[in-house]
Amino acid sequence: MVIISFVAFTLLVAIISYVATLKTDETSSDGFFLGGRSLTAVVIAGSLLLTNLSTEQIVGLNGQSFAEGILVMAWETLAAVAMVITAIFLLPRYLKGGITTVPQFLERRYDTTTKAITSGLFLTGYVVVLLPIVLYSGSLAISTMFDLPGMLDISKGASIWVCVVGIGVIGSIYAIFGGLKAVAVSDTLNAVGLLVGGIMIPVFGLLEIGNGSITEGVEIIMSTNPEKFKVLGSDNSSVPFATIFTGMMLVQLFYWGTNQAIIQRALGAKNLKEGQKGLLLASFIKILGPIIVVLPGIIAFHMFGATLTNADEAYPTLVSKVLPLSLVGFFAAVLFGAILSSFNSALNSSVTLFGVDLYKQYINKQATEKQTVKAGKLFGVGLAILAIGIAPLIANAPDGLFGYLQQVNGCYSIPILTIIIVGYLTRRVPAIAAKIAIVLGATLYLVYVILDATILKGAFPHFLHVMAILFVVNILIMLIIGKLYPREEAYVQQYTKEVDITPWRYTKTVGAVICVIVIAIYVYFR
């Protein structure tokens, strides 16, 4: 029954996604990379949420809450604020320029070399960090929930390899041969299932703790583990409170505002209104994220305590313990969809970056749109194979999956965010300033990561503070260069008229309400 419901739901999503893409011209760049610029608010919101809400988030963040408590919810709640900023400040500028990729703006603002360096950083980050971690964390969850080592009579390591290959192959089919619209539609369908299934886990957990009463369960878990419900934390926690005002917001703004794998959903909006509504809808739902990605970890701590030696196993162990057998197949299918979502979304964005920013620019300048799409697909196949090979090697990631992911991402997130922000807020900072900032920022942060992990471990401030320091240094360097060697002509962004850029009239009002709710949550759990 479990296997049947798993396969049935997975096939249903695949069939609906296939039907939804029949009328989309997948041979054109807009059709394949941006879903024909036809995405509506609900589809954008669903795709944004599920692209983000995958097993590296569900497994990793619940693992951190198992160890530290509710303070790690900053990764969720502050994302809502970042999406508000993106809807108000960045998206109107993106759609005005009619860009397909973020590096395209950098080419227009600076030069082609800056675009190539940025695309290369994105691709490196995806293949070395994001794609393998998504594959590994998803495989860990599926293997634990289905007890594949026992079912197949193989080792735990072998079961991880089996899952990694399976997820990688299926995700590649969606991303490489279906394009963005297939990814977005499947994301939306799975998002509904994931929200329902994700909420079921803490509900069943609280029912078990409270002997059939959710309110009793909440009272017991909060009174028994009061230290787990404090958002301030300490200087030694993974998210010290002070980092909220430094690197945390920068990481969130990069992720939701400039990360190609995420913002590509909003770039495919049919107009600015739909894009803004999609971002704000996603940001509102994101506020509820801790119920799915933080609370289960605390419930697992209450139920299992020290019996779990690996915090990243807290969530799948809790699912196996509290979820009725009749629902395991459905939830596994939804979780499988979430795994595929993050994998195929990052892979689709990688294909887009290579095809649009590298292949047509440097390899075949005369390439037709059909040739560009084909080259991107072939590159995607190779990238998927490489990610599948790397994924099982992350089994011993330091500080947990989620913490490792966030720290290593700084090698490219802060330099890229810097040159985009300066690019939009200034008009005469030259291309050489962007090149220096992005190379210097990535190099200095990489040196910090290496030293902090080896001979000078513990001698540096928290990695989020380091990100903020490098962000300020990079901006100052760019502004000084801009003052000394300004562009001959001031940059002026042109309106390409790809889509209507009339803003939604309630964007700022709804955004302000969302920010107030976030502040209220922190005041309550102070």
Q: What is the pLDDT of residue 396?
A: 60
**Contact by Cβ (8 Å): 185, 16:** yes
In this predicted structure, the answer to whether residue 30 has a pLDDT above a threshold of 70 is no
Instruction: Find the mean pLDDT for residues 284-299.
Output: 91
Nearest 5 degrees, angle CA 18-CA 19-CA 25? 80
Cα dist. 191→156, 195, 197, 244, 258 in Å? 29, 6, 10, 28, 22
Q: What is the pLDDT of residue 32?
A: 44
Q: Which amino acid is at 309?
A: T
Q: What is the pLDDT of residue 439?
A: 92
**Contact by Cβ (8 Å): 95, 499:** yes
What are the residues facing 500 on neighbouring strands?
271
Structure tokens at 231: 């958002």
Structure tokens at 341: 């979502």
In this predicted structure, the answer to whether residue 175 has a pLDDT above a threshold of 70 is no
Q: Between these two residues, 26 and 525, which has the higher pLDDT value?
A: 525
Structure tokens at 270: 């049919």
Residue 292: which of 172, 418, 193 has the closest Cα? 193
Percent of the chain with pLDDT over 70: 86
**Contact by Cβ (8 Å): 251, 471:** no
Q: What is the pLDDT of residue 26?
A: 45
Structure tokens at 471: 């962000």
In this predicted structure, the answer to whether residue 520 has a pLDDT above a threshold of 60 is yes
Average pLDDT, the chain: 83
Instruction: Find the mean pLDDT for residues 155-180.
Output: 75
Structure tokens at 404: 């490792």
Q: What is the pLDDT of residue 299?
A: 95
Averaging pLDDT over each range in 21-35, 221-235, 323-337, which range is the top one?
221-235
Rounded Cα distance between 298 and 275, Å, is 35
Structure tokens at 428: 């005469």
Residue 317: which of 328, 329, 304 has the closest Cα? 304
- pTM across the whole model: 0.81
Q: What is the pLDDT of residue 347?
A: 74
Q: Buried (b) or exposed (e) across 416-427, using 16+ Cβ within 10 A?
A: bbbbbbbbbebe
Q: What is the pLDDT of residue 29?
A: 46
Q: What is the pLDDT of residue 276?
A: 96
CA 300 to chain centre: 24
Q: What is the pLDDT of residue 310?
A: 78
Q: How confident is the model at residue 389 (pLDDT cuts 50, 70, 90)?
A: confident
Please state the φ and ψ torsions of residue 500, each to the nearest 5 degrees: -70, 130
Residue 410: which of 447, 371, 369, 445 has the closest Cα? 445
Write out pLDDT tens, residues 70-96. Answer: 999 998 999 999 999 999 999 999 999
Q: Which domains does the chain have, with CATH numbers?
A: 2-406 (1.20.1730.10)
Write out pLDDT tens, residues 416-451. Answer: 999 999 999 999 999 999 999 999 999 999 899 888
In this predicted structure, the answer to whether residue 188 has a pLDDT above a threshold of 90 is no
In this predicted structure, the answer to whether residue 386 has a pLDDT above a threshold of 90 is no
